[in-house]
Amino acid sequence: MEYHRDRFTDFSLIIEDQNNNIVALFPASIANNIVSSHAGLTFGGLLYKKRTFVQKVIAILSAVEQFCLNEGVQKIVYKVIPYIYKSEQGEEDQYALFMNDWKLIRRDFSTIIKRDTPFVPDRSRRKNNKIALHQNIEIQPSDDIVTFWNLLNNNLTTRHQVAPTHSLKELQFLMDQFPENIKLIGGFKDGKMLAGAIVFLTPYVCKFQYSVNSLEGREFKVLDAVFLSIINENKRSYIDFGHSSENDGKYLNEGLSKFKFYFNGEASVCDFYEKDLTANL
């Protein structure tokens, strides 16, 4: 988070037991007396050791609530870690949220592929892949982040009137800092990048963070070929296509979700909870 620390006021907490042993961490930021875990991260929530008894997690969450209340915090927003990213802990925190009367305020819709069964994409995706290959499209890793970002920025500003979440400088910084965890895969014709995708890699998940097709790339179905190449070559337990919902999960981008669905994807959600600490004062 160092690259964008100037955007957020940190409010991360270390939770200790009566013997001063660390039992949990709570990555968080604060703005306008509202604590979010964490506004600078896709998801957050409590981090605790594997096989922590659920009653202890309830007590930890209660302690976080009381500390925040004592500090003048009005609300806490909690982003649940999706199960595909949980390498250690279970879902004790979600039960603790329920027991402590937290309110579900948002549910983001994502599409994932589980790699415990053979990957068989829809026939339309296979057809598009053949179209790309017949055009002698080459799929390969690339370090040309400038060309990719310019394609991405032009596509987002022209079609959706928004900018990429990360600036070119930020994206380059992240790729330099984590060369084994952030990769750019491009689709090229005669040396020209027509489409590409940036993936974030964790021990268990390959996540499509950004992807873009140029006009020529759309004609030759290059992005389909890029996606299929990445999926086929990646052996992690899950492929995460990212969110297809907007407006706090209340609007589903059907075209985007269908595109992902036809790669043999299925639904996964990322939940957000909120608690008003002043409600009972």
Asked if 203 and 137 sit in the same domain, the reply is: yes
Asked if 216 and 173 sit in the same domain, the reply is: yes
Predicted local confidence at residue 165, as pLDDT? 85
In a domain, 262, yes or no: no
Asked if 229 and 130 sit in the same domain, the reply is: yes
Predicted local confidence at residue 239, as pLDDT? 97
Q: What is the CATH classification number for the domain harbouring 32?
A: 3.40.630.30
Neighbouring C-beta atoms of residue 211, cutoff 10 Å? 21
In a domain, 244, yes or no: no
DSSP secondary structure string, 5-54? GGGSEE--EEEE-TTS-EEEEE--EEETTEEEETTTSS----EE-TT--H
In a domain, 263, yes or no: no
Q: Which domain holds residue 144?
A: 117-236
Predicted local confidence at residue 159, as pLDDT? 84
In a domain, 82, yes or no: yes
What is the value of pTM for the model shown? 0.89
Query: Splitting the chain (281 residues) into consecutive groups of 10 residues, what average pLDDT does each group show?
Result: 68 96 95 89 85 96 98 97 87 97 97 91 94 96 96 91 88 94 97 98 95 96 97 94 94 94 93 94 70
In a domain, 46, yes or no: yes
What's the domain count of the chain?
2
In a domain, 256, yes or no: no
Contact criterion met (CB below 8 Å) for 159 and 153: no
In a domain, 248, yes or no: no
Q: Name residue, tokens 């927003």.
A: 77
Predicted local confidence at residue 4, as pLDDT? 52
Cα separation, 34 vs 280, in Å, equals 17
